Structure 1
Amino acid sequence: MTIQTEFANNAKHILEKDEQIIGLAVGGSWLSGQMDEFSDLDLIIVTREKITDNPKEMIAYARRLGRFLSGFTGEHVGEPRLLICLYDRPLLHVDIKFVTLDECYNRVETPVILFDRNQQLQSALLKSESVFPYPNYQWIEDRFWIWVHYALLKIGRGEYFEALDFMGFLRMSTLGPLLHVKNNSLPRGVRKVEMELVSQDLEDLKLTIAQYDRSALLQGLQNAVRLYRDLRLVLFDHTIILQVETELQVMRYFENINSRSD
């Protein structure tokens, strides 16, 4: 039995005694069968009443489930219903999402039910479908070339840390998700690209990683542009309006910056 399975089973035994809890489910890598010793555990606790306006109550529930070290809510990832926790003995990362039954109808995945009071959770899941958010190609195209220009400004000024951070953002927000779609996997940023991309796509993504150096940053950005253009040819259809003039002017500016000495 894995440490994640043991923790989940223990949580089930604890929470099923609480009449305020409708159900407990698990998602994430548990669903795909890819859980290993480095995986976190994604739990969903379904409560009768909404408690996510009270982080102290969320933490109080989390403390009951094991040797709780600390935790914090997930506003930084746009999910205040999420409590990100670290437990000890064994050391384990556990994400706990607190939802009401009504909130189960809108979800990105269909979890495995561990505990369900009177089959209420199962009924909600059967009456609805999970919808995972996919990239909006027009949204990306409308922004990509302005993002490239922003990176060029930072490189041109010598703000290399800012440029390096931007390249990470570009991989997370655009290149990673598009490569996942091309490879028929869920577009979760750059999550598990090492396992889910074909070798050539992974190598192309690696070429966007730069060192703290002007020429390396410019080359990494050039590789990112090349990769985006290739992905655009594969994934975009005729309904996507390309920002042709913006692309042209930004790439002219790219040539200008590239031609200057360090």
Structure 2
Amino acid sequence: MKFPSTLPTPHRTLLETIITRFSADPRIAGIAASGSYTTNTMDIYSDLDLVIACAASDYASVMHERFALIEQLDGGVAAFSGEHVGEPRLVIALFAPKWADEPIHVDFKFVALEDAAQRVDPCQVLWEREGELSQIYASSTPYYPQPEPQWIEERFWTWVHYGATKIARGEYFEAVEFLSFLRTTVLSPLALRQSQQTPSGVRKLETRLPEFALELGKTVVKPEKLSLIDALNRVITLYLRLRENEVVIKREAAQQVSMDYVARLLN
């Protein structure tokens, strides 16, 4: 097997062990990798993002035993399911094998073979039993969910009002977290989409859109009233600029009410 040139040696050793152990289970039909593995952009901080595919008839039993399968690997120190990110098929695991200088994070996504077609990133098959996983990937296309500008416009001005009430009430930590939500859900995805890049929140924004990242950085502030007011106004300014590049029905009444509220209450 030819591994990406950027795959760190500890990751490679762990990956080889995973392939050897999992391929010995007759219920498992294939193993694939996604993320930075497929783009050959890994470094020592990278996760291993793995897809573990099995026949539909074996899926229930594999899911039932998925933690036992992971526990047979050397160096595991933690493993838990991914309901908190909306993906119960996912097991997030941390390994600290004796031969590795640093811990390694591995995401195991257990899927039935026919469900492997639904994916957000390209996947590279690492091992398979009958060639079925390769066939599924060859006959389907990854699709990353795109931000819907009209969906955002329908909500944004109510969100602005909500953020303003938190600042006015003195719930500064709540306001800090809410600004983070707007960066991740609204501003960064729109900016990335408009530059024809995958709209994956704020992930690697510093290198993907460095100039926009500098502007967005000015909305990251301490839990203090004046700083939060300035940050909220900057969020509004950035959104209005991004909205000009989209075809939307502008909710001008909601915009005016919210902006008047911000000006009257906070400025």
1:155 Cα deviation from its structure 2 partner: 0.4
Pick aligned residue for 1:225 from 236, 257, 264: 236
After superposition, what is the alpha-carbon deviation per residue over 1:144-170, rounded to whole angstroms, capped at 9, x for unaligned?
110010000000111101101101111
Q: CA RMSD in A?
A: 1.5
| One-letter amino acid matched to 2:257 | Q
Moved >4 Å (runs of 4+): none
CA contact (8 A) 1:84 1:94 kept: yes
Equivalent pair of 2:120/2:144 in contact (CA under 8 Å): yes
CA contact (8 A) 1:23 1:113 kept: yes
Equivalence for 1:244: 252
Deviation, 1:105, is 1.7
Q: 1:184 to 1:6 in 2, by over 3 A?
A: farther
> Which residue among 192, 211, 214 is the counterpart of 1:180?
192
Please tell me whether residue 61 in structure 1 is matched to residue 63 in structure 2: no
Q: Tell me the amino acid that sits aligned with residue 40 of structure 2.
A: G
| Residues 52/200 of structure 1: CA separation in 2 closer, same or farther (3 Å cut) | farther
Q: Secondary structure at the match of 2:108?
A: strand
- The one of 156, 161, 166 equivalent to 2:173 is 161
Letter in 2 for 1:30: Y
Q: Does 1:88 align with 2:96?
A: yes
Shift in Å, 1:2: 2.6
Cα deviations by residue, 1:82-121 (Å, 9 ceiling, x for unpaired): 0010011231110100001011121112211010111010
SS in structure 1 opposite 2:147? coil
**Offset of residue 53 of structure 1:** 8.9
| Rounded Cα–Cα distance in structure 2 between residues aligned with 1:45 and 1:122 | 13
User: Does residue 18 in structure 1 map to residue 29 in structure 2?
Assistant: no
Q: Please, which of 212, 232, 238 is the counterpart of residue 201 of structure 1? A: 212
Q: Deviations over 1:148-203 (max 9, x none)?
A: 10000000111101101101111111112112213332111111111111x32111
1:33 and 2:40 equivalent? Answer: yes
1:6 to 6, 13, 23: 13
Contact 1:51 1:98 in 2 (8 A): no
Aligned-pair distance for 1:67?
1.4
Alignment correspondent of 1:192: 204
For residue 200 of structure 1, give the secondary structure of its aligned residue in structure 2.
helix
Equivalent residue, structure 2, for 1:126 = 138
TM-score, normalisation: structure 1: 0.93
Q: Which moved more, 1:26-35 or 1:175-184?
A: 175-184
Q: How far apart, in 2, do the equivalents of 1:63 and 1:23 lie?
A: 19
1:115-151 C-alpha deviation (Å, 9 max, x unpaired):
0111010111112111111111111111111001000
- 1:95 alignment partner, SS class: strand
Return the letter of the residue paired with 2:30. G
Is the Cα–Cα contact under 8 Å of residues 154 and 163 in structure 1 kept in the other structure? yes
The unaligned stretches of length 5 or more in structure 1 are none
Q: What residue ranges of structure 2 are gaps of 5+ in the alignment?
A: 1-7
* Identity in percent: 35
Cα gap change, 1:158 to 1:213, in 2 (>3 Å): same
CA contact (8 A) 2:34 2:121 kept: yes
User: Aligned letter for 1:247?
Assistant: Q
